[in-house]
Each structure stands twice: as structure tokens, then as C-alpha cells.
Amino acid sequence: MRERLRREKGGILVFTAAAMVALLGFVAISIDGGYLYYRRARLQDISDSVALAASAQIMRARGSENDKKLAALETAVRCLEKNGIEVTGTSGFTASVLFKGDAGLVTLSFSDGCNRVGVDIDVTTDLFFARALSKPSTPVRVKSEAYLDWDPPNVVPLSYFYDDYVPYKKYQLNYTPGDGVHGNYGYVDFTPSSKFRHYLENGYDGEVPLGINLEILTYPGVSNGQVRQALESRINGCTGGCHLEDLDGNNDGSNVVVHIDSNCPRVVILPMVSGLHQAHGKDVVTIIGFLRFFIESYDSNSKVLTGWCLGEVTEDEINGYVGAVNVVKLVR
């Protein structure tokens, strides 16, 4: 009888000890698990923010690809610190960080030139209860990727030599120097001039930011064939039959119906420049604004460009500051 009792007591002790370990395990899993879940979600949010901010910076930055990457890194560091992650050092595109006392690494990676920015965050996170189960810390890893879905503003090296314009008026831009009757335009030199045709056909994507008060040179030596080919390529690239209709035929900018697809290659931005075009040799002209134009036709014999003025474009739009939120996309 006594023997049996002792055996049962022992059994109860063993059972209690096993239950305690299991209970501790459950507590560890639920508390540490909750903590890890929260921490992973927080780091994922931060990683997303860093990817978006770095991508937006790449769109704004001018200069070489490496300059853009360095600008992105600088923005990423600022974004991390704003989110409570201390950056203790950087090496290449990897930052050593402290997140609430836990050490980790944040790495930026770039692909597709630098149109895609990847962010990897790896923080070794200390655990509370799991310590008792000999697992004092665990890595928490998150990653994000953002990409730029962004066409550079379609600024072309054709300049408009006036500071007055009427939106939705049809203009015949005449490349006859000194002829101020119909308006006037000329070619300008976005360096390098060897890329003139490329800039005219695809829009300026060079390294020097374009802006108001920037002085540029005119480029009188352009071959008419290049201009014709580039403009024809734009006109033929329009597949939507885009056009404008002046309902009352007055050409005073009123009663005009616009049928233009978004991203239509016939829509370009012309720098509006000051200074009279004297045409002999190169002139220095100053950018005073930007006009959006719809190219209707180009007559390569008379060199007359017929197009519709669609209004002025701000300098911020030229440099990619407007609409940044809409064009940086998170892909994770």
C-alpha cells in the first residue's frame, strides 16, 4: 500500500515537471513568438519605406549611375534613422545598424541599372523566455524591392524662342532665322551634341539637370535628315490617332477638344528660351520655362513644325519631383 503511494507520488512529480517545461515552452512560444511577429512586421514596414525613399531619390538624383546609388544610400540611412534604427557604419552599400539594442545589417542592392532597389534587413533579435530553452536569439530577416516605372520627362532639343504662348493654340514653328511672324524655334545643344537625334527621338535623359535660368547653346549645325527621322519616328509611334480639334476654327485656344493618349510619343516638352535667334554660329540662350507641345506634322522641305501648345510645365515636373509617389512601386 505504502509502496504504491510512493510510486504514485513520484508519478505526479514527473508529470508536474513535464507540464512545467511544456508550459514554459508555450509561454516562450507565445511571448517570444508575438514579439518576433511584431518585430518582423515593424522591420518590414521600415524596409518598405527605405526601398521607396531610395528609389524616389534615384529618380531625382542627377549624375552617373554611381552618384545615384550613393544618393540612394544617403537617403536610406536617413530613412532608417527616422525610423529608430541607428546606423553605426557603412561599408559599400551595407550599413551596420542597431535596432533597439539588437545588431544587424541593412544592405541595398541595385539591378536594371539602378531602376530596381532591393533592401535586405537582417537583425539578430534577443529573445526572453526561449533563453531557458537554450535559444537566446534568432535572426529576423525582411526584404523589399522597389522599382521606378518612370519615363524621363520628354524634353527635346528644340527650343521655343518666345515667352508668350496660348495654350491649345496651333503653332507653326518656323525654323527660318529672324522670322518672327509665326513664332520661331531652333535646335539647342543638350550635351553631348552627338546624342541630338537620341534626345529628339526619346527625350533628354542626360546628366545635367535642366532648369530655369540655365544657359545653353543653340545648335545650328543639325542635319535636317536627323530632325525629320526623329520626328517621323515620334509621329509614327503614335498608335492612338491622337489629335486636337478646334471646334470654332478660330485658333485662339478656346473650344479645343483634346484626344491624346497618355504616353503619346507626339507629346514633347520644349525649353522656352530667351534671346533672339541670330542663327549665325552658336548663340547662348537662357531657359526661361518649358512648354508641352503636341507634334502634328513636320515638313522637312520648309522645316516647319506644326504643333499645338498644351501649356507650361513646371521645373519640378522636369526634374521628376512631381508624381514621384505614383511612379515608384513596391514589388517585394
- Which of 238, 268, 269, 310 forms a contact with Zn ion (CB under 5 A)? 238
From the list 127-135, 264-272, 285-293, 324-332, the region that binds Zn ion by CB under 5 A is 264-272
How many chain residues bind Zn ion (CB under 5 A)?
A: 5
- Please identify, using beta-carbon distances, which residue of 80 and 264 lies nearer to Zn ion: 264
- Please identify, using beta-carbon distances, which residue of 147 and 294 lies nearer to Zn ion: 294
Distance (Å) of CA 140 to CA 32, 58, 126? 12, 28, 10
Q: Which three cell numbers stand for residue 179?
A: 522670322
Helix (H, G, I), strand (E, B) or coil at 183: coil
- Please identify, using beta-carbon distances, which residue of 51 and 238 lies nearer to Zn ion: 238
Chain position carrying cell 527621322: 229
CA–CA separation, 266 and 283 (whole Å): 27
- Please identify, using beta-carbon distances, which residue of 175 and 294 lies nearer to Zn ion: 294
Site string for Zn ion, 192-231 (x = CB under 5 A): ----------------------------------------
Q: Name the packing angle between helices 65-82 and 2-60 (round to 10°).
A: 130
Whole-number minimum distance, CB 306 to Zn ion, in Å? 15
Residue 310 sits in the site that holds Zn ion (CB under 5 A):
no
Q: Which three cell numbers stand for residue 99?
A: 535596432
- Which of 76, 210, 227, 264 forms a contact with Zn ion (CB under 5 A)? 264
Whole-number minimum distance, CB 154 to Zn ion, in Å? 12
From the list 68-76, 96-104, 193-201, 258-266, the region that binds Zn ion by CB under 5 A is 258-266
From the list 27-35, 42-50, 122-130, 234-242, the region that binds Zn ion by CB under 5 A is 234-242
- Which of 242, 295, 313, 318 forms a contact with Zn ion (CB under 5 A)? 242
- Which of 34, 139, 240, 323 forms a contact with Zn ion (CB under 5 A)? 240
DSSP 214-268: -EEEE-TT--HHHHHHHHHHHHHH--S--EEEETTS--SSSSEEEE--TT-TTEE
Degrees (nearest 5) of the Cα angle 21, 22, 27?
95
- Please identify, using beta-carbon distances, which residue of 84 and 240 lies nearer to Zn ion: 240
CA 242 to chain centre: 27
Whole-number minimum distance, CB 215 to Zn ion, in Å? 33
- Please identify, using beta-carbon distances, which residue of 264 and 269 lies nearer to Zn ion: 264
CA–CA separation, 191 and 198 (whole Å): 11
**What residues contact residue 166 under an 8 Å CB cut-off, 6+ apart?**
252, 253, 309
Residue 261 sits in the site that holds Zn ion (CB under 5 A):
yes
- Please identify, using beta-carbon distances, which residue of 117 and 238 lies nearer to Zn ion: 238
Q: How many CB atoms lie within 10 A of CB 221?
A: 11
Say which DSSP state 70 is in.
Answer: H
Q: Which residues bind Zn ion (CB under 5 A)?
A: 238, 240, 242, 261, 264
